[in-house]
Amino acid sequence: MSESAFAKGGCACGAIRFELLAAPMFTHCCHCRDCQRQTGSAFVLNALIETDRIALLQGEPRPFPMPTPSGFPHDIYRCADCGTALWSDYGGRTGLRFVRVGALDEPELVPPDVHIFTRSKLPWIGLPPETPAFEIYYERERLWPAAAQERLRQATQPPGKGVG
């Protein structure tokens, strides 16, 4: 791992390797039915990070468009060889990625900051009392640290808009 990397990850077959060049802004544990269906699991862990803070070391993930109830675009980037999901682009925000924590070599580095869509949480999943949990979603301004909110603002501003 390079000196500046926070974490390293990749797909199951090893065709794709990447580094996170910084700690994620915030990490969601999502219990919605879409995430359950798309992962074949009870939830997904998504670490939100700027696209330019993901360094591809090997290979090129392929986007797979997914249907959404909202109609907004959702692409899951997967290894074309083994199909491992590496990250998502929700809503066409190209400056922001939702990295699958399970694709990291050391997923324990990125625990969830929040549990969302717990209204569809499977009843046999217990949640830790110290982690905030919401039936649907939450107010980002109340949970995210100020530095993470600023990173998000910069990552999602329209192209051509310089930072103040």
Long-range contacts of 148-155 (CB under 8 A, 24+ apart): 148/25, 148/26, 151/25, 151/50, 152/25, 152/48, 152/96, 154/50, 155/50, 155/51, 155/93, 155/95, 155/96
Residue 93: pLDDT band (50, 70, 90) is confident
> What CATH code is carried by the domain that includes residue 78?
3.90.1590.10
Q: What pLDDT digit, counting tens, does each position of 137-159 carry?
A: 999 999 999 999 999 999 988 76
Task: Look at residue 62 and tell me if it is in a domain.
Answer: yes
pLDDT of residue 2: 65
How many domains does one find in the chain? 1
162 found inside a domain: no
Confidence of residue 94 (pLDDT cuts 50, 70, 90): confident
pTM of the model: 0.90
Domain interval for residue 23: 7-156
